[in-house]
Amino acid sequence: MRKKIVIAGASGLVGGAAVRLFASRGDWQVVAVSRRAPLDVGAHVQHVSVDLCDAQACAQAFGAMSDVTHLIYAAVSEKTEDIYGGWSDPAQIAKNTAMLRNLFEPLSSAARDLQHVALVHGAKAYGCHLPQVAAPIPMRESLPRPSIPNFYFEQEDYIWGKQQGQSWTWTVWRPVGVAGVALGSPMNSFLMLPLYAALRREAGLDLPMPAGVTLASEATDADLIAEALEWGAQSPNARNEIFNISNGDVVAQRERFPVIAEHFGMPLGEPRRINVSREVVEMAGLWREMVRRYELQAPEDVAALFGGSLTMSGVGTEAPEGNPLRWGLVSTIKLRRAGFHGCADTLEMVRKYARRYQELRILPH
């Protein structure tokens, strides 16, 4: 039986990967929901451009979707002028909660054969982004919620409440350090290093190695998340469960540099302290020239590549004070025991996305 899935946040890293994977399957009809059109999506995908903050527009769009069977909610609104602060900002939390409600209220009323809802969240559910929270290593799904504001919790409680007495089920996903293909995503840290390398190569410079001990963390390929979303949409073992997900290996940030240097055919420089995002901003004029010279399908404003904010897109050169492993280390045992065994080599993933951004003409060859 042909299934119909709505993927909200389709222009983002995870949403875009999910759209491409589900659209490649013969038994899924895909509705991509985002204000901007997703990258690299086939013509047979239905794109619905709607502002999830607009309740009236959502009622009109989703109230007509009576044949939807599945929902992936990967949409998020970041406070670009203060991303860190926005994660605990009551107004920003209320905004993200309202976005889900604006979509789901009319959709759940109209879709009489709704079967599954997936929420894509992250490891911030464990409070690992806050220095005052003693997040354990690794972070596990069984941990109690930290006593901090977080829109993840409000969205979870909303979906869990709506599911009471219904036949449909839900799954909550918590990836770490997502890498994928998107334009205008403020959390797209895996685009920053190849962008930096492309700029320095154009300027005839080497790619310096970062000095000191760099952050060691896990990462998650958006394509891997899409595979897990497909599994979770249909597996009985995913019903009403929360799962961490990551590639399955741990890589220090400094290990990405030789991979990117080799990919761009440029020498590695001597180790030094680096603030990658700051140096990219300093080369903004060169980037504008490169976009025009190579006729790239990318904005001339380098910050626009990351939604106007470079706060979360930098590549750190030194580990933070305290335990450098507290960021992005999660246990994925629960997911493996449930039956999903996908994994990815993080350094191969770094190379893959550098190539994909070139293929899409966002970075020059």
CB 284 within 8 A of CB 221: no
> With bands split at pLDDT 50, 70 and 90, how would you rate the model's confidence at 313?
low
3-178+220-245 topology per CATH: Rossmann fold (3.40.50)
pLDDT in tens, 196-223: 999 999 999 999 999 887 888 899 999 9
Distances (CA, A) of 142 to 48, 135, 138, 187, 331: 36, 13, 11, 26, 10
| Domain spans in the chain, listed from the N-terminal domain onward | 3-178+220-245, 183-218+250-325+345-359
> With bands split at pLDDT 50, 70 and 90, how would you rate the model's confidence at 324?
very low
Confidence (pTM): 0.95
C-alpha closest to that of 271 among 289, 291, 251, 253: 253
Least trusted range by pLDDT, from 4-13, 275-284, 305-314, 316-325: 316-325
Copy the structure tokens of residue 251.
Answer: 């890589």
Mean pLDDT of 297-318: 78
Mean pLDDT of 297-315: 82
CB 244 within 8 A of CB 126: no
Listed ranges 69-83, 154-168, 213-227; the one with the highest mean pLDDT: 154-168
> With bands split at pLDDT 50, 70 and 90, how would you rate the model's confidence at 325?
very low
Other residues' Cβ atoms within 10 Å of the Cβ of residue 115: 16
Mean pLDDT of 225-234: 98
Q: Tell me the average pLDDT of the chain.
A: 92
Asked if pLDDT for residue 322 goes beyond 90, the answer is: no
> How many percent of the chain have pLDDT more than 70?
95
pLDDT in tens, 90-119: 999 999 999 999 999 999 999 999 999 999
Mean pLDDT of 248-273: 95
How far is Cα 359 from Cα 365, in angstroms, rounded to an integer? Answer: 8
Written as one string, the DSSP assignment of 23-65 is: HHSTTEEEEEE-SSPPSS--TTSEEE---TT-HHHHHHHHTT-
Element (H, E) at 200: helix 189-202
How far is Cα 345 from Cα 174, in angstroms, rounded to an integer? Answer: 19
Asked if pLDDT for residue 321 goes beyond 70, the answer is: no
